[in-house]
Structure 1
Amino acid sequence: MKNIAENMPSDLSSEHFLDLLNTPNVRIERIVSKGHSSPEAGWYDQDEDEWVMVLEGSGTLAFEDGREVTLNKGDFIHIPAHDRHKVSHTRPDGITVWLAIFFSPAG
């Protein structure tokens, strides 16, 4: 694949995850959602930092400390390692395409 919009999944009964690059130092992932959210107890607690951008659609991230951040097309956020978070909402009437980059924390 040479275009992030290629090979979009036709079945979105669950979120679709696709590694675009996976090396020992960095992983780049395309995530496609449609009305999905994380399970109620489904907090992500990752060993890596995550930089995520919404390429299409919109989604809301909830953080364990009570923050909520809504990302629309073009918005991005850096999530430090072990900053527990989950997806609380993605748009149900169209797809949300996320670009997530995972890398070792600095320091």
Structure 2
Amino acid sequence: MVQGNLFDDVPTGVAEEVFTALLERPGLKIERIVSNGQASPPGFWYDSAQEEWVLLMEGGAAVQIEGETAPRLLQPGTWLHLPAHCRHRVAWTDTGRPTVWLAVHYSAG
């Protein structure tokens, strides 16, 4: 048995996003992501073979989905399901405080 708290030791002021695996099993990964003002590089798109369900826990962010005209704004409590191969990018994350995400990656089908 393992226990933790998503808000323990949240990194602040770091140059890169911090990915912390909380649970990994075949076909499943649950991770905490902490952003401190980061965004996807220009022209970069995530395109995963796995499905992703993400919950914004703290802070703020916007996720751009390929083909949509405006980014989707996320605030604490907002979740988003990204099907496999749904091309997306992080348009921005809060620069004034850490943005804490809970992401669940799992095999499609």
Quick check: TM above 0.5?
yes
What secondary structure sits across from 1:29 in the alignment? strand
After superposing on structure 2, the runs of 4+ consecutive aligned residues of structure 1 that deviate more than 3 Å are none
AA at the equivalent of 2:26: P
Task: Establish whether residue 74 from structure 1 lines up as the match of residue 109 from structure 2.
Answer: no
Q: 2:22 aligns with which of 5, 20, 23?
A: 20
Instruction: In structure 2, list runs of 5 or more residues that go unmatched.
Output: none
Distance (whole Å) between structure 1 residues aligned to residue 17 and residue 27 of structure 2: 25
Task: Establish whether residue 55 from structure 1 lines up as the match of residue 57 from structure 2.
Answer: yes
What are the superposed Cα offsets for residues 35-78 of structure 1, whole Å, 9 maximum, x if unpaired? Answer: 11001122000000000000001110001113421110000010
What are the superposed Cα offsets for residues 9-42 of structure 1, whole Å, 9 maximum, x if unpaired? Answer: 2451111111111111210010001111001122
Distance (whole Å) between structure 2 residues aligned to residue 34 and residue 19 of structure 1: 18
1:81 positional shift: 0.4
1:8 positional shift: 1.7
1:105 positional shift: 1.3
Aligned residues with identical type, % of pairs: 39
AA at the equivalent of 1:31: I
Query: Normalising by the residue count of structure 2, what TM-score does the alignment of the two structures yield?
Result: 0.91
Partner of 1:92: 95
Number of residue pairs aligned between Structure 1 and Structure 2: 106
Query: Normalising by the residue count of structure 1, what TM-score does the alignment of the two structures yield?
Result: 0.92
Partner of 1:105: 108
CA RMSD of aligned residues (A): 1.3
